[in-house]
Amino acid sequence: MRFKVGRESQARPAVGQRLAIAGTRGRAATVGALAVAACGLAVTACGNQNPPQAAPFARTTGGVTTAPSLPSSSIESCVASQLKVSISNSGALAGQAGGYLRFTNDSPTPCRMTGWPVVTGLTAAGTATLLQHAQSTMFGAWRYTAPPPVVTLQPGDSAYAVIVADDQPAGGQGRCPAPYVRLRVSPPGGSGSVVISAWLPGAGSYLPACTSVNGSATAETSTITTLSNLPH
- 2-12: per-residue pLDDT in tens? 333 333 334 34
- 187-213: per-residue pLDDT in tens? 998 889 999 999 999 999 999 999 999
Distance in angstroms (rounded) separating the CA atoms of residues 88 and 98: 9
- Answer yes or no: is pLDDT of 124 > 90: yes
- Nearest alpha carbon to residue 197 among 163, 152, 150: 163
Write down the pTM of the prediction. 0.69
Distance in angstroms (rounded) separating the CA atoms of residues 82 and 35: 63
Q: Cis before residue 149, ω within 30 degrees of 0?
A: no
Mean pLDDT of 177-195: 95
pLDDT at position 172 is 74
Determine the Cα angle at 37 with ends 32 and 43, to 5°: 125
Cross-strand pairs, 205:
200
